[in-house]
Amino acid sequence: MLTGNTLIIGFVLALIVLFVLIMRFKWDAFVSLLVVAIGLGLLSSIPAKEVPGIIATGFGNTLAGVGILIGLGIIFGQFLASSGAINKIATGMLRVFGVKKSPYAIAMTSITVSIPVFFDAAFIILHKLIQNLSFKTKISLTTFVAILSIGLITAHSVIIPTPGPLVVADQTGSDIGMFFIYGLLVSIPGVLVGGVIYGKFIGKRITNEGRLDESDIAEAESTLSGRKEISTALSFGMLALPIILILSNTLINLLFRDNTEQFVPTLFSVIGDKNVALLISVLVAMFALKPYIKEDIKTVFSKALDQSGAVILITGAGGAFGKVVQETGIGDLIISMMQGLNIPALLLAFLFAQILRASLGSATVALVTTSAIMGPLAAELGVSPVVLGLAICAGGIGLSLPNDSGFWVVSKFGRLSMTETIKVWSIGGFLSGVTVLISVYVLSMFQGILPGL
């Protein structure tokens, strides 16, 4: 039975075994994740008879959050691709920003979109767009995957109103408005370094060779002939539809903060739910995009469902592994060990969140746990609540490992192997997190000078 420091060693060994099964023995990620989850659970202090139930709970809870989302997101993306909307959007973006500036366009888009939309939803909605941009610009798909994923996770972890930063702001006693403004400010350098700069670097080393199928190219090109051509306005409108629906819920909640039970906020809480918003978008796409699709609607659904099965299974298995890790108590053990170390407040906050992010596989859980411990200590530590909160958020950005469902979303939709995903997503996110932390340190130099600090 693994306890204490041996439990941490066991977690590290479990990750090594997972890597070996997938990379050396070519096991499927779904099976490998379940095997490692069972092994770690049986070697820990968790009663053996409870391990299968914990795995099932982790699998189910993960898919309860993103399962419907993945299915609808793939269907919606397939409709956009089959109608030529994605191709039109790519053309429109290139017309505005130019080939050389297209990475910055994706960076700006990712930050904006991830503020109201969850990471998984945004990445799924936009992954077809970056594939087509890669076709048109001849820039490595890996570069665009890095920029999009790092931009989304940075905003998701730092900028209100996503749940993690919102809880951090509350636990530290920060002003919500100031937290949003400074969160947006420190996010930009993180996306530029971890997304754009590192994305260009790694994109030169992971090329498009064998990554984009000829069928994808044929599908993109086929939108230009044999049917009515879709307009740029409709293309952008369809892409924006789920984002607008989700954002409307956030806006209405702010306007009716003290009257959430009224008809209007209740209505928008339903249509603005991420799953309902995507369902509405799929229904609208079925009718609005039908004139622009040459193939039968059933064929569009069939293609989408073929893609979604494997992604859903792997995502659920990643959640199962993460649940086992949580139940072993590794997170609490790490926190207890680090509290005895003499580390500066902001760095300690970052490290708490970063280690929990890696071990638990959830940015939100890492932020909530760290802020619950360190948030109330802002005054005692002599730092601004906003600055301390942003340091915690910086730790929730990167070092995503295979126990994180987001890892597999990026891997599958970004068409990356497990090793490539670590290079692009895990390292890129870590660089973004460190850059945000540095930006927070710079911000702390103006404590007492800038409003809200």
Which DSSP string corresponds to 414-431?
A: TT--HHHHIIIIIHHHHH
Residue 441 included in any domain = no
Residue 363 lies in a domain: no
Confidence of residue 213 (pLDDT cuts 50, 70, 90): low
In a domain, 452, yes or no: no
Any domain includes 439: no
CA dist., res. 282 & res. 302, Å (int): 14
Give alpha helix (H) positions in 272-329.
Answer: 274-288, 297-328
pLDDT for 337 beyond 60:
yes
- Does the reported pTM lie above 0.85? no
Mind listing the pLDDT tens digit for each residue in 264-273?
A: 889 988 998 8
pLDDT of residue 223: 44
| Residue 393 within a domain | no
Looking at residue 121, its pLDDT comes to: 76
Whole-angstrom CA distances from 327 to 37, 366, 368 are: 11, 14, 17
Say how many domains are in the chain: 1
Q: Is residue 90 part of a domain?
A: yes
Q: What is the pLDDT of residue 315?
A: 81
Containing domain of residue 115, as a range? Answer: 5-324
For residue 55, is pLDDT > 50? Answer: yes
Residue 98 CB partners (closer than 8 Å, separation 6+): none
The interaxial angle of helices 345-360 and 297-328, nearest 10 deg, is: 120
Return left, alpha or beta for 362; rule: phi > 0 is left, psi -120 to 50 is alpha, else beta: beta
**Contact yes or no for 54/323 (Cβ under 8 A):** yes
| Res 117: pLDDT | 64
Query: Is position 131 within any domain?
Result: yes
Q: Which tens digit of pLDDT belongs to each residue from 426-443? A: 999 999 999 999 999 999
Quick check: 420 pLDDT over 90?
A: yes
User: CA separation (Å) from 187 to 351, 370, 385?
Assistant: 18, 19, 17
Q: Is residue 145 part of a domain?
A: yes
